[in-house]
Amino acid sequence: MSDMNRYHRQMLFQGIGQEGQAQLLSKHVLIIGCGALGSSSAEILIRAGVGKITIIDRDYVEWTNLQRQHLFTEEDVHEQTPKAIAAARKLKKINSGINIHAVVMDATVENLTSYVQNADIVIDATDNFDTRFLINDLAHKYRKPWIFGACVGSSGMTFTIIPGQTPCLDCLLKVTPMFGATCDAVGVIGPAVQMVVTHQTTEALKLLVEAKSKINSKLIIFDLWNNHYQTIDVSRAKRANCSSCGVEPTYPSLTYHGRTKTEVLCGRDTVQIRGKQYSLKMLESKLTQYGEVQANPFLVSVDIDEKRLVFFQDGRTFVHGTHSIEDAKKLYYQIVG
């Protein structure tokens, strides 16, 4: 058990108190994505004394992350450390009494289901709507509250989704336009990230200590640079015939059988290929014929001409330097056979 004195100031806060702190220490939060939103959310919740945090992320630390993604350092970039692993190492130094589970993997139905089932709440820290729709369906199927969050430029939005009570993400999209631009296209500033994180983690704390009357039922949208802030009542957006949260849900994201094995990562000039799992040691040896190889216990990478291939332990490969799935697959199969 952690030394409770470290939470003294938090327990003085009437909304949490000693009873709320005990609840926090007994709860499990699943954070999907460990970039800007995920790393900051994890740090706040670890410091707050949430008993168990599971962090899932498929990526590794790069230079462009350091401007806004907390917990990461230049050393992580040089070592190509997976984000979930890098975050967990730092978080352990912040609060050694907390159970931190770092998972390096892509979020798919097959590997995400059990994590959602075993969590008390889910925090969305992803950068694409395919994964968010997956979270939405899993959360509703297993009756888990989840907190949507997104930011780009100086703008952001958040919404707390409670199965059976609030509109789901699919309902929300029917009435509210979402960001069309991406961070890679128009950039993002750190304060916008932190504003989203502030709302997400505050809502998480309310849910975890069961302060139901304090949950924010409105969609929050802001633009810090242009001094805009609004809350929108979206309660009427909930649809009885919604395929995710309606009377007879079919959970389309869970039953879709045509999931792609390749995809272009949002704005990254990178293609991800989900392939066969290979021994990293074998790949490290094989790749030396193509160029200088970098390796750690989680991945192996090599630069070939103007492209970089990164092979992960779970069978995924990033092909950087192209947005052509055909070109990426051609290079991939040239190497792995």
Helix (H) or strand (E) holding 297: none
pLDDT exceeds 80 at position 294? yes
Distance CA 67, CA 274 (A): 29
Strands (E), the chain: 28-32, 52-57, 99-104, 121-124, 146-152, 155-161, 219-223, 228-232, 262-264, 270-274, 293-296, 299-304, 307-312, 316-320
pLDDT in tens, 62-96: 999 999 998 999 999 999 999 999 999 999 999 99
| Separation of CA 151 from chain center | 13
Residue 118 has pLDDT above 60, yes or no: yes
Let me know whether 83 and 197 are in one domain. yes
- Give SS3 for 218: coil
pLDDT score, position 263: 79
> What does the alpha-carbon distance between residue 16 and residue 27 come to, in Å, rounded to a whole number?
14
Q: What is the pLDDT of residue 1?
A: 44
Q: Give the residue, 314 or 337, on which the prediction is more confident.
A: 314
Tell which of 238, 255, 272 closes a domain: 255
7-11, 311-315, 330-334: the lowest-pLDDT one: 330-334
Average model confidence (pLDDT) across the chain: 91
Residues 224, 312 within the same domain? no
Same domain, 134 and 249: yes
Residues 271 and 171 in one domain: no
236 and 278 share a domain? no
The residue behind tokens 């304060």 is: 191
Asked whether the whole model's pTM tops 0.75, one would answer yes
pLDDT at 219 over 90: yes
The CATH number of the domain holding residue 129 is 3.40.50.720
The CATH number of the domain where 277 resides is what? 3.30.310.10
Instruction: Give mean pLDDT, residues 126-145.
Output: 93
Dump pLDDT digits (tens) for 168-216: 999 998 887 665 555 666 788 999 999 999 999 999 999 999 999 999 9
Q: From CA 151, how far away is CA 189, in angstroms rounded?
A: 9
Q: Identify whether residues 184 and 47 lie together within a single domain.
A: yes
Q: Are residues 99 and 17 in the same domain?
A: yes
177 & 285 share domain: no
Task: Say yes or no: 47 and 111 in one domain.
Answer: yes
With a cut of 60, say whether residue 272 has pLDDT above it: yes
Domain boundary pick from 227, 255, 283: 255
Helix (H, G, I), strand (E, B) or coil at 227: coil
Cα 232 from Cα 159, distance rounded (Å): 10
- Picking from 229, 255, 281, the residue at the C-terminal end of a domain is 255
Question: CB of 73 within 8 A of CB of 89?
Answer: no
pLDDT at 153 over 80: yes
How far, in whole angstroms, is CA 238 from its chain's centroid? 25
Please tell me whether residue 323 adopts helix, strand or coil conformation. coil
Tokens of 21: 């702190």
Q: Do both 184 and 292 map to the same domain?
A: no
> Where is pLDDT greater, at 182 or 165?
165
Give the separation between CA 20 and CA 10, rounded to whole angstroms: 10
Name residue 309's beta-bridge partners.
302, 319
Q: What is the pLDDT of residue 178?
A: 66
The model's pLDDT over 239-268, given as tens digits with 9 standing for 90+, comes to 999 999 999 999 998 875 545 567 777 667
Asked whether the predicted pLDDT for residue 232 surpasses 50, the reply is yes
Identify the pLDDT of residue 180. Answer: 55
What residue numbers bound the domain in which 99 lies?
4-255
Q: Please check whether residues 162 and 27 belong to one and the same domain.
A: yes
Average pLDDT for 133-142: 96
Instruction: Report how many domains make up the chain.
Output: 2
Domain match, 130 and 229 both = yes
> Is 104's pLDDT higher than 90?
yes
pLDDT for 314 beyond 90: no
Reported as a single tens digit per residue, the pLDDT across 21-67 is: 999 999 999 999 999 999 999 999 999 999 999 999 999 999 999 99
| DSSP letters for 204-264 | HHHHHTT-GGG---SEEEEETTTTEEEEE--GGG--TT-TTTSSS---HHHH-----SEEE
